[in-house]
Structure formats: C-alpha cells, structure tokens
Amino acid sequence: MHVLKDIAPARQWVRQEQRSGRTVGLVPTMGALHRGHLSLVEAARARCSSVAVTIFVNPTQFGPQEDLAAYPRPLQADLAACEKAGVDAVFAPDVETMYPGGVFTRVHVATLTDGLCGPHRPGHFDGVATVVAKLFQILPADAAFFGEKDYQQLRVVQQLVRDLNIPVEVVGCPTVREPDGLAMSSRNAYLVPAQRAQAACLYQALNRACTRAAGGVRRAAELIDGIRGDILAAGPAGIDYVEIVDAVTLEPLTAVNRAARICLAVRIGGCRLIDNVAVDMPAGPI
Ligand code: AMP
C-alpha cells in the first residue's frame, strides 16, 4: 500500500494506474476509520480496480466552536485498517500541503446548503465542497464513494461535480449502523455509556416515522412531532432540526408525496449526531 503525503506523487499514482488500464475509486475521509468508512472501500473495490483512501481532518469545514482540535487522529490504526481492507494507496496530507499559506479560494454550492445542517454550521459545506473539489483535482479518480449517512453532503458533492464538470462518478453508499441502529460515526466515541445507549433513539424514532408514513400518515408536521417526542422521551437532548425534505432538492415538504428523506441533527451531551432515512410515498390517495 502506498502512503502518499504530497500532491505530485498522489496525482502521479492515479495517472499511472489509469495508464496501466486500471480504474481508480476514491474514498475521501477524515480518518478514525470505522466499518462505515470500510463499506465505502468495499464498494470502491467492487467497482474499480484500484482504491485510494484520503485521510485529512479538513480544518475549513469546522466552525470556530467545533471539535477540530479534539477530532480523533489515529493515523497508524487507520493505515493498518486500510492495508487490511486491500486499499492500494492512502493520501494523508498535512494542512500546509492542502492550504499552503492559507485559504484563498472557496467553493460554494448554493441552495442545497440553505437548509438542514447549513444554518447550524455556517461555512461547513463551503469547506466540504472546497476540499472535495481539491481532492478531485489531486486524485482524478474514475469514481468517488460517499456515505448516505451525510446525505446533504452527498447531494452537495453530486451538485458540485455536475456544476464544475468534474469527470468523476459520485456513488452514494448506504449507512452502516451499530447493532442497536445508531449510525456509525467517528464522533460516537465522544458519547459516555449512558449517552451512547440514549443515542439509539434517533434511528428508532426515524424508523417509527417510516412505519407511520407507510401506514398512511403523510403530514410532515405530524411525523416530525412524533420523532421529536420519541427523541425527547429517551432523555435530555438538543434537537437542532428534524425535517422531511425532497430527496433530490432537499426542500422541506409539508406532505410525504414524493421520494423524501427524513433528516435530523441532535445534540446528546456535547456530541452532535446526524442521521437520515429514505421515506417512500405511502400508497393510496392524498
Ligand atoms: P468522515 O470521515 O466522517 O468525513 O466520513 C467520510 C465518508 O464516510 C463520508 O462519505 C461519510 O458519509 C462516510 N460515512 C461516515 N459514516 C458512515 C456510515 N456509518 N455509513 C456509511 N458511510 C459513512
């Protein structure tokens, strides 16, 4: 496995693979790898002949009050996990390599970033869009793999690639969960045991709403109230938002009458958790 720290060798590695007739799959991460990340590696291995993982805790996507300093950085364990998963190359640059002398150019994807996490994390999606655009320049892969766990991010990256004509296929991959349903996240490590047990309520609440929708409840407000109630019944939590949005445009819906996504962000203890599920249009007349 190649461990690349600099831009020129990273680009050269991708070009060499492609010249040799191999397709390259890219899996961008911030490290602290778990089974969710490794599922993206598996998806990349299934579709491409070579796989590159990037590990970079991107400072431009963290707000000033957020957990940039505390974010886990177990690089040696991550490299071992990549090696074991059959990754061919890891790109793990430092901040100065990615942003020499600072940040002068920022990429902004409009509209999709107006709602959901956008207002709660000002500048976050600009940071994501900027670093992903840079990674696509540095590692011009054939396909790139992103988790549905970060559904808004996935939509932002799809839009970015379309708008900037970046020749990469963006592949969305299903959320990998703990046995109790909690979506795997590097940030789950911040939860103490009681909070960790409580956190299972998020997926349970989402699932209950899906069941209610399938049973004919279409009014978004009613479904959202149910989710909020279920979450607050499980223990103290700060709900940033619970929303039902169009699965493509991310515009809030008042009724589940097309392909939709229920998205939420909830703070338990000091830990901000996000999750989402697809909710299908229930059968029958509106
Ligand atoms: P992160 O390291 O948190 O920036 O995540 C890197 C990539 O892994 C993103 O595309 C995430 O959506 C994806 N990811 C994170 N957690 C999960 C999960 N539980 N299941 C599937 N993909 C995930």
Gap from CA of 195 to ligand 1 centroid (Å): 21
- The two beta strands, 271-279 and 260-268, are antiparallel
Q: Whose CA is nearest to atom 17 of ligand 1?
A: 36
User: What is the atom index within ligand 1 of the atom nearest the CA of 145?
Assistant: 10
User: What is the atom index within ligand 1 of the atom nearest the CA of 32?
Assistant: 2
Q: Catalytic residues, which ones?
A: 37
Gap from CA of 223 to ligand 1 centroid (Å): 26
- Per-residue pLDDT of 198-240, as tens digits, reads 999 999 999 999 999 999 999 999 999 999 999 999 999 999 9
Q: What is the mean pLDDT for each group of 10 consecutive residues in the chain (286 residues)?
A: 98 98 98 98 98 98 95 97 98 98 98 98 98 98 98 98 98 98 96 98 98 96 98 98 98 96 97 95 57
- What's the confidence (pLDDT) of residue 285? 54
Structure tokens given for 190: 């911040």
Gap from CA of 146 to ligand 1 centroid (Å): 7
Gap from CA of 173 to ligand 1 centroid (Å): 9
Q: Whose CA is nearest to atom 8 of ligand 1?
A: 37
* Residue of 39, 40, 131 to test ligand 1 pocket, by largest number of atoms within 8 Å of CB: 40
- What's the confidence (pLDDT) of residue 226? 98
User: What is the atom index within ligand 1 of the atom nearest the CA of 174?
Assistant: 21
- What's the confidence (pLDDT) of residue 166? 98
- Mean pLDDT over the full length of the chain: 97
Residue 163 neighbours by CB under 8 Å, 6+ apart? 109
Instruction: Work out the angle at residue 102's Cα, subtended by the Cα atoms of residues 100 and 105, and round it to the nearest 5 degrees.
Output: 100
Residues with CB under 6 A from ligand 1: 29-30, 36-37, 39-40, 146-147, 149-150, 173, 175-176, 183-186
Q: Whose CA is nearest to atom 13 of ligand 1?
A: 147
User: What is the atom index within ligand 1 of the atom nearest the CA of 175?
Assistant: 20
280: nearest Cα among 250, 258, 263 = 258
Alpha-helix residue ranges (DSSP H) falling in the chain: 7-19, 35-47, 75-84, 95-98, 117-120, 124-138, 151-163, 193-199, 201-214, 220-233
Each residue of 66-105: b (16+ CB within 10 Å) or e?
eeeeebeeeeeebbebbeebebbbbbbbeeeebbeeeeee
Q: Which residue has the tokens 């994501």?
A: 128
Gap from CA of 144 to ligand 1 centroid (Å): 12
